[in-house]
């Protein structure tokens, strides 16, 4: 039988130190407006970092919510997400 360290909420082991500069941006917003029909970044991101405003036809990025999984890069059918790790000292850290 497997032994686990904790049966508690794993989010409690997560700490995010937010930088004042975003580590995520959209390369070309027109691609989102004109070519991206389903907006997969808005539903594939487990932290809900991306939000599409249908009235304004604009993507909003709430980068402080990012847990650095990188799934947005893989999900974008147009390779239109510019994502990199936050600069040193910022971003996600895990506690045991």
Domain boundaries defined on the chain:
26-94
- pTM of the predicted protein model: 0.79
pLDDT at 11: 63
**Residue range 26-94 in CATH 3.30.70.20:** yes
pLDDT at 84: 94
pLDDT tens for 22-52 read 999 999 999 999 999 999 999 999 999 999 9
Mean pLDDT of the 67-81 span: 95
Q: Is pLDDT larger for residue 4 or for residue 75?
A: 75
**How many CB atoms are located within 10 Å of the residue 32 CB?**
22
Long-range contacts of 86-90 (CB under 8 A, 24+ apart): 86/19, 86/23, 87/19, 87/21, 87/23, 89/17, 90/17, 90/18, 90/19, 90/23
């Amino acid at each position: 039988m497997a032994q686990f360290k904790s049966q508690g909420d794993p989010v409690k082991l997560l700490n995010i130190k937010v930088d004042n500069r975003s580590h995520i941006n959209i390369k070309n917003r027109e691609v989102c407006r004109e070519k991206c029909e389903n907006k997969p970044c808005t539903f594939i991101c487990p932290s809900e970092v991306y939000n599409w405003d249908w009235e304004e036809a604009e993507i909003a990025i709430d980068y402080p919510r990012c847990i650095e999984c990188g799934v947005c890069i893989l999900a974008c059918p147009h390779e239109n997400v510019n994502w990199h790790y936050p600069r040193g000292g910022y971003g996600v850290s895990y506690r045991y």
